Structure 1
Amino acid sequence: MSCNEPANRFSQPVTAALELDSGIIGISTVAEGLNVPWEICWGPDGHIWFTEQSGTVSKIDPATGKKKQVLSIPEVYRQRSLGLLGMTVHPTEPFVYLDYTTRKADSSIVSRLVRYNRGNDTLTDPKILLEFPGNTGHNGSRVLVGPDGKVYFSTGDAAHDEFAGDTASLNGKVLRLNADGSVPADNPYPGNYMWSRGHRNIQGLAFTDNGQLFASEHGDATDDELNLIQKAAYYAWPHIEGFADRADEKAYADSFPFNPPAKAWTPTIAPAGISYYNHTAIPDWQNTILLGTLKGASLHVLQLNDARDSVMGEKIYFTQQFGRIRDICVSTEGDIYLATSNRDWNPGKGFPIPADDRIIRLSPIKESKGLTILPGPAAAPVSPVAKGPAIYKSYCEACHKADGKGVAGSFPALAQSKIVTGKPEALLNILLNGSKSSATEHMPAFSFLSDEDIAAVATHIRSAWGNTADSISATAVQALRKPAK
């Protein structure tokens, strides 16, 4: 047996390695050809349990890669980011909790939290615990059993900003339930599932070993966030993004106290699933939050302080190596599993590859001889320079793509677009004010950029991919910012 194979535990070959200060991580593929695994979690039976966005639940023996489907949900409605999403396997009770979107007879979209009974190879007796408004985006979501035995469930704002702060709405929240679906007596608001509010679109939940709860959250055009979730806390979406560093945000924060993020990213990285890691198997990553990204297509390793309530440092690995990383789980032996998301509605450049989507294992090995050595940590993201192509890459490329062709039905093409190449005011008004359309994804406002930066990216868009329109000046942008007389 090769010394690259970790202790005879796995049958899958190690194909690459990452060299850290205190050891070597071997990289192997546990499963491939999957239909967008959205959630992966380590089950009490020593298997990896995972959802596929199309509506199936399966489990995999990590040692052999043997896969067993345990449930198919025909009523799952999959479109863009909708489908079968979050899942948690209760560690001590015979329950599995699932969250999915479905479409009603009147064509309305709803999100459901459903509890199943767990047998050896089946899930049975579904019980709908919650049903609430969904949308074509911003449905969250993650489900997690906390150290207190309660079920924590994150919900998106369903693309209705006003839902996030509304105490009467289940959207834009972290909810807390008893195992049977009832409201815990010690929730902050009597008779209310709400644990925290003011969230836009949470994509990851994880508890630390001392009971701190973290959540990763998608921002709009700026300020993706990692939040420390606290009882009865308010996170202020849509009024504040990130650290309340704009004048209007500061004014709002003076009247409505809020919890700032533990970490924020601008340009955005599209943070996805997270897990807490504190195992001796990989000493370099002890006491960290492991965070996968979609737009960034990378693994962020966020070092926590001793109290587990603050981020002290960040290292970034595997940029564009595996593509979009949707979720992460950790085994009891300290191995790390990553689920890719390259066959979803918004694939990145160069993906999907034929093997996608995959579950990839990171596990300690003794030596890296003969293996492909992957690069070490990249530098943390920095603010974009005031050049059109660089600004486009930071803020626009993930949606409208490097070739300007966009994604059909979601993000309009910029190449050969009449709005792009017509009168400058049309393009500038969209950049400054954003746009909402029932036919495409919401376009956020980029008014936080300087006049010079907006002029630079607009000029780049109007001259790229065969577009031949004139350049735009910062003066033209400034004129449109002025309030109407």
Structure 2
Amino acid sequence: MDFFRSIPVWIAAFAAVFVTGGRDATAPQRPVEPDSLPLSVHVHVVASGLNVPWEMVWGPDNWIWYTEQSGSISRLNPKTGEKQLLVKIDEVYRHRSLGLLGMALHPDFPRKPYVYVDYTCKKDSAIATKLVRFTYRQNRLADPLTMLEIPAHTGHNGSRIVISPDRKLMFATGDAVTITNAQNTGSLNGKVLRMNLDGSVPADNPIKGSLVWSWGHRNIQGLAYGRNGILYSSEHGDAVEDELNIIRNGRNYGWPKVEGFCDQPNEKAFCDSVKVTEPVKAWTPTIAPAGIAVYEGRLFPEWKGAILLTTLKEADLRVLKTDAKGESIVSESIPLDASYGRLRAVCVAPDGSIYVSTSNRDWNPGSGFPKPEDDRILRITRGTQADLLARKAQSQAVTDNVSNGARLYRQYCASCHKPDGKGVAGTFPTLHGTQQVKDKDQFVQIMLNGLSGKITVQGEEFDQHMPAMSFLPDESIAEIGTYVRQSFNQDLDPVSVSDVAKTRIK
């Protein structure tokens, strides 16, 4: 049928992927075993013209139920591409990363036809996150019931919803750009919450009378159950240490005192005084992990029990194989890499095919996106082995031609300032011809210390947090600085290691 497009994608899935042991991404790293079996996949476009499909759930009707960040909930027939709008929620407040986000269906659906969603709304100047239950009947969602309302902010609002094997609703919230929330067990922000399906507090929660199940979270983006009832989460770090965690009852995950593992002097002191649960995996440079699902299908038997992870910054789908207990990561591979832009949600069909959604009409699209057909829902099935080695050789040739400064810029800067250095109008400032870049001392200081609050660049005001990059060695800061000053500007001298060292000690 003409609304389907089948695109072969060839992958060198045996390329090694690394876990960083510290904050210096240029230092030797601890390798994770690569997959021994090269694998290719085919991608089929099932739906297009969407507006950031943030969550996807495989329904008992064998349709994909999905949310769109702009406020719509719909069903998609994966065989025909037919879309059916179920509700448009008018009170959804869409701004940057805010909007209609997570969704889960009642485990007894359709006998109990309840659909749980969370979204942001705004009244006057106050932003809130709502957890709302809708009732499905006659192909519509109606009778919204607000189960919970908590403070929100212009970012870091999470969030995902899943139903646990013991039939509890698990709801991941962000710290709402107030880092003290995460360690404050009296706040419901920066937490994983656990509640009965009617919204009440379970009697066996770790804090009596509280919905809090775990704390010390910054901004969880993925939540899924796997082997042995293990709950996995993916979480955005700041400038370093995106995380994959196992969420357990009454555990503290460290933010903002700890990022990733307890491997820095100030973190070790906190970890010695407070029992912190470390991630099972962390990524520096960051990858902006998003949705996760655990694969139990037959189409890719070599992936059985693995965690499927989509990423925004790296625009890829990753397969994280675990040990037999599901408690550690033993390999990582990338079967879909940077072909369709930012990837947001993932779900698995009963036949073992994998569905992912793109996120190219969100607030921070990658270079060259959105395409006219965005956003899309893609079906991934097994491909052939043709041209696999040619694809690998081509990828290696591209990598070999990139300077270290360009590589570091892509890893740490391009997701906001974009590969061409032009940023995003009204959100992230350009690096072309700006006074902040021309003034070398100021530029190095900004890279080392970051920025927070309002800043004026070429007459335009910006108000975004830029994380500090002081965790990078002087050589890396100098290479990034030189790349920016000489690639996006004219006649600017390079940044030297001594320039960085002098600024660092001030």
Give the whole-Å Cα distance in 2 for the aligned partners of 1:440 and 1:22. Answer: 45
Distance 1:363 1:387, change over 3 A: closer
On the 8 A contact 1:51/1:87 being kept in 2, the answer is: yes
1:224 to 224, 242, 252: 242
Structure 2 residue ranges without an equivalent (≥5): 14-36, 455-461
Give the whole-Å Cα distance in 2 for the aligned partners of 1:406 and 1:71. Answer: 35
Give the whole-Å Cα distance in 2 for the aligned partners of 1:372 and 1:466. Answer: 39
Question: Hey, what does 2:120 align to over in structure 1?
Answer: 101
Question: Hey, what does 1:456 align to over in structure 2?
Answer: 479
Give the whole-Å Cα distance in 2 for the aligned partners of 1:308 and 1:387. Answer: 36
Distance 1:374 1:456, change over 3 A: closer
Distance 1:328 1:277, change over 3 A: same
Deviates more, 1:196-205 or 1:13-22: 13-22
Distance 1:189 1:11, change over 3 A: same
1:257-307 C-alpha deviation (Å, 9 max, x unpaired): 201111111111110000000222211211100000010010110001111
**Aligned partner of residue 90 in structure 2, secondary structure:** coil
Structure 1 residue 150: Cα displacement:
0.5
Distance 1:15 1:419, change over 3 A: closer
Give the whole-Å Cα distance in 2 for the aligned partners of 1:256 and 1:412. Answer: 39
**Aligned partner of residue 14 in structure 1, secondary structure:** strand
Aligned partner letter, 1:300: R
Structure 1 residue 220: Cα displacement:
0.7
Aligned identity (percent) is 48
Question: Hey, what does 1:89 align to over in structure 2?
Answer: 105
Aligned residues: 467
After superposition, residues 281-296 of structure 1 pair within 5 angstroms as 281-296=299-314
Question: Hey, what does 1:437 align to over in structure 2?
Answer: 453
Question: Hey, what does 1:14 align to over in structure 2?
Answer: 6
Structure 1 residue 349: Cα displacement:
1.9
Aligned partner letter, 1:391: L
TM-score normalised by length of structure 1: 0.91
Give the whole-Å Cα distance in 2 for the aligned partners of 1:457 and 1:95. Answer: 51
Distance 1:419 1:22, change over 3 A: closer
Give the whole-Å Cα distance in 1 for the aligned partners of 2:409 and 2:495. Answer: 15
On the 8 A contact 2:40/2:335 being kept in 1, the answer is: no
Give the whole-Å Cα distance in 2 for the aligned partners of 1:268 and 1:352. Answer: 22
2:81 to 65, 69, 72: 65
Matched, 1:299 2:322: no
Question: Hey, what does 2:61 align to over in structure 1?
Answer: 45
Matched, 1:391 2:391: no
Give the whole-Å Cα distance in 1 for the aligned partners of 2:5 and 2:430. Answer: 42
On the 8 A contact 2:223/2:234 being kept in 1, the answer is: yes
Aligned partner letter, 1:388: G
Give the whole-Å Cα distance in 1 for the aligned partners of 2:497 and 2:8. Answer: 48
Give the whole-Å Cα distance in 2 for the aligned partners of 1:343 and 1:418. Answer: 30
1:161-202 C-alpha deviation (Å, 9 max, x unpaired): 111111011111110111011111111111111111001110
Give the whole-Å Cα distance in 2 for the aligned partners of 1:12 and 1:461. Answer: 41
1:414-470 C-alpha deviation (Å, 9 max, x unpaired): 111111102x23222221111112542210011101122212212222222224333
After superposition, residues 117-156 of structure 1 pair within 5 angstroms as 117-156=135-174
Structure 1 residue 352: Cα displacement:
1.8
TM-score normalised by length of structure 2: 0.87
1:189 to 198, 204, 207: 207
**Aligned partner of residue 6 in structure 2, secondary structure:** coil
Matched, 1:317 2:332: no
Matched, 1:360 2:378: yes
Give the whole-Å Cα distance in 2 for the aligned partners of 1:207 and 1:79. Answer: 30
Give the whole-Å Cα distance in 1 for the aligned partners of 2:267 and 2:301. Answer: 40
Give the whole-Å Cα distance in 1 for the aligned partners of 2:162 and 2:350. Answer: 17
**Aligned partner of residue 163 in structure 1, secondary structure:** helix
On the 8 A contact 1:421/1:467 being kept in 2, the answer is: no
On the 8 A contact 1:297/1:322 being kept in 2, the answer is: yes
Matched, 1:213 2:231: yes
C-alpha RMSD of the superposition: 2.5
Deviates more, 1:171-180 or 1:129-138: 129-138
Structure 1 residue ranges without an equivalent (≥5): none
Aligned partner letter, 1:394: Q
Give the whole-Å Cα distance in 2 for the aligned partners of 1:54 and 1:13. Answer: 26
On the 8 A contact 2:40/2:388 being kept in 1, the answer is: no
Question: Hey, what does 1:55 align to over in structure 2?
Answer: 71
Aligned partner letter, 2:449: N
Give the whole-Å Cα distance in 1 for the aligned partners of 2:420 and 2:315. Answer: 18
**Aligned partner of residue 57 in structure 2, secondary structure:** strand
On the 8 A contact 2:173/2:192 being kept in 1, the answer is: yes
